[in-house]
Amino acid sequence: MEKPTKRILSGVQPSGDLHLGNYLGAIKNFVSLQKEYECFFCVVDLHAITVWQDPKVLANKTREVTAAFIASGIDPKKNNIFVQSQIPQHAQLAWLFNCIARMGWLNRMTQFKDKAGKNSENVSVGLFSYPTLMAADILIYLATHVPVGEDQKQHLELTRDIAQKFNNDFETDLFPIPEPLILGDAKRVMSLRDGSKKMSKSDPSDYSRIMLTDSAENIIQKIKKAKTDPYPLPDNINDLKLRPEALNLITIFSALESISIDKVLQNYGAKEFSSFKKDLADLAVSKLEPITSEMNKLMNDTPFIDDVLQSGKNNAIAVAEPVLRKTKEIIGFLS
């Protein structure tokens, strides 16, 4: 079987409106990675249903993530863009990995603890075993590299452990041990309402996040109302680190403009938040408006989106099917 050396798998859940965190922490990086890597970009709807999703909107959200990928600059001719639930090999390999992963490994996952909170007896089994499905998403394509936000680092470690244990148990070298790619300064974009909380699709407050579907007016309003502290902006990184809301807004500026945080501090250090926020709003609108308008155009062309996903599906199955067949043969199943 051909062993790729530079193949990426990454996924985004169609679990709500995509926000600036998803864009700066993931999708913007995918756009630069496509030059160097063979890429598999997946809309991970099986992951999304680990919590309740409204069946009336799920298909539309799935197309919206696809539109966001393309509108942000991912070339659908050069890359494989597809939907997780349309590739049955993901779920099949995930079952096999459920029998490789240990309970103790999954019990340590902090994202499960955060998401389940005090309600862990009542959340789905799927939410608990989410990381074994993520391992299957990656290893079914023998992906060598995975771009991840800070929040997914621990899940990727578990993927590496699963690959290693499978290879050891069955004395094979089938699965690569995938490397994380943690890129850019915006590894963890925080809520605009609370600098200690991650910007998230599931935050009940719309004002906590800038969405890729927001109008220019909404973006300006949200940045204007973003929580700050009463002092002028700091002029050095050490002081900035002590002020979570300022750090978040400066980080967003630096990621959108693709310049260093130091450079932003040189320009805005000691200035009032009001003038900085105005420039940040102008910058956010100028970067996001072209993406939003392209997304809207694509969302009105469902046949095009569905064609992209069909061709992504064909390519994905062509890679995934032989890997699953080989895995089953190694385990000793009848063919």
Which sequence positions are flagged as catalytic? Answer: 115, 198, 201
- Side-by-side strand order, sheet with 145-147: 80-83, 38-43, 7-12, 145-147, 179-181
Footprint (CB under 6 A) of ligand AQP, residues 130-159: 148-149, 151-152
Q: Within a 13 Å sphere around the CA of 230, how many CA atoms are in the beta-carbon half?
A: 0
Nearest to 243 by CA among 256, 230, 224: 230
| Residue showing tokens 């298909």 | 59
CB of 198 to ligand AQP, least distance (A): 4
Closer Cβ to ligand AQP, 114 or 173, answer by number: 114
Nearest to 41 by CA among 111, 133, 130, 141: 141
Alpha helix positions (H), the chain: 20-22, 28-33, 45-48, 55-72, 88-98, 103-107, 110-116, 125-139, 153-169, 216-225, 237-241, 244-257, 261-268, 273-299, 302-331
Closer Cβ to ligand AQP, 66 or 327, answer by number: 66
Nearest residue relative to ligand AQP (C-beta): 25
User: Quick one: which H or E segment has residue 10?
Assistant: strand 7-12
Distance CA 95, CA 73 (A): 34
Residues 11-50, one symbol each (x = binds ligand AQP by CB under 6 A, - = not), give -xx-xx----xx--xx------------------------
CB of 2 to ligand AQP, least distance (A): 27
- Binding status of residue 129 toward ligand AQP by CB under 6 A: no
CB of 206 to ligand AQP, least distance (A): 13
Closer Cβ to ligand AQP, 26 or 142, answer by number: 26
Closer Cβ to ligand AQP, 26 or 87, answer by number: 26
CB of 209 to ligand AQP, least distance (A): 8
Reduced to 3 states (helix: H, G, I; strand: E, B; else coil), residue 9 is: strand
62 within 8 A of 11, measured Cβ to Cβ: no
Number of residues that bind ligand AQP (CB under 6 A): 20
Closer Cβ to ligand AQP, 208 or 327, answer by number: 208
Footprint (CB under 6 A) of ligand AQP, residues 184-243: 186, 188-189, 198-202
Distance CA 328, CA 335 (A): 8
Footprint (CB under 6 A) of ligand AQP, residues 167-186: 186
- Residues whose CB is less than 8 angstroms from the CB of residue 242 and which lie 6 or more positions away in sequence, other chains included: none
216 within 8 A of 285, measured Cβ to Cβ: yes
Find the part of the chain contacting ligand AQP (CB under 6 A) among 10-18, 222-230, 265-273, 286-294. 10-18
CB of 318 to ligand AQP, least distance (A): 25
Closer Cβ to ligand AQP, 25 or 312, answer by number: 25
CB of 47 to ligand AQP, least distance (A): 7
60 within 8 A of 295, measured Cβ to Cβ: no
Q: Which residues bind ligand AQP (CB under 6 A)?
A: 12-13, 15-16, 21-22, 25-26, 148-149, 151-152, 186, 188-189, 198-202
